[in-house]
Amino acid sequence: DELHIISLGKQIGIVTAPHELFDTNSVWLEGQSPYDVTLTFGYTNAMNGYVPSAAAFEYGCYEANCTNLMPGGGEQIQEEFLVMLNDMFK
């Protein structure tokens, strides 16, 4: 699956993924991003399933039961996005 970022100067970072990202993943990423504004877009260039948070797996919600990710997969994706954002920001 492809993860992409777009930078509009040092003010706006945009991340895109072909998944449905949980809001907890997006909110965490927005708080950690070096950009003033970070926007997260899902369903880009396909739909490859849900990206639930680790807590969603513990709770046993629908999305956690329908994903092809293992617990912690959502956090790995958000961490990869953060690395990409930091690299682009330099």
CA distances from 28 to 54, 75, 78 (A): 13, 9, 8
Instruction: Tell me, yes or no, if the pTM score tops 0.95.
Output: no
Return d(Cα 61, Cα 64) in angstroms, integer: 5
Task: Kindly report, residue by residue over 4-52, the tens digit of the pLDDT.
Answer: 999 999 999 999 988 888 888 889 999 999 999 999 998 887 777 888 8
The alpha-helical segments, DSSP class H, found in 1-90 are 23-32, 54-59, 62-65, 73-89
Task: Kindly report, residue by residue over 55-89, the tens digit of the pLDDT.
Answer: 888 888 888 888 888 898 888 888 999 999 999 99
Task: Give me the pLDDT at residue 82, please.
Answer: 95
